């Protein structure tokens, strides 16, 4: 199925969870926060949160800023 991650289309298997996606992207879970369709998905729910077709995800981290 197709999802949108940080504005970029991405093809993922049907049963992909948020945790699966972060693992595919080789991201350190403690360094990021994830929003699906404008709603924050808390880290504790990453393993159970199933993604669906056309979900729009934001995967954010901390960067330098003032």
Number of Cβ within 10 Å of residue 21's Cβ equals 22
Q: Are 52 and 17 in contact (CB under 8 A)?
A: no
Rounded to the nearest whole angstrom, what is the least distance from the CB of residue 15 to another protein in the complex? 21
How many residues touch another protein (CB under 8 A)? 26
Phi first, then psi, for residue 9 (nearest 5°) are -65, 145
Rounded to the nearest whole angstrom, what is the least distance from the CB of residue 49 to another protein in the complex? 13
- Is residue 9 at the binding interface for another protein, with CB under 8 A as the rule? no
Which two three-digit tokens encode residue 27? 């991201």
Binding site for another protein (CB under 8 A): 5-8, 25, 27-33, 35, 38, 40, 42-43, 58-66
């Amino acid at each position: 199925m197709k999802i949108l991650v940080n504005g970029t289309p991405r093809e993922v298997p049907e049963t992909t969870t948020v945790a699966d996606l972060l693992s595919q992207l080789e991201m350190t879970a403690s360094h990021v926060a994830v929003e699906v369709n404008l709603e924050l998905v808390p880290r504790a729910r990453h393993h159970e949160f199933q993604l669906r077709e056309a979900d729009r995800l934001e995967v954010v981290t901390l960067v330098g800023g003032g």
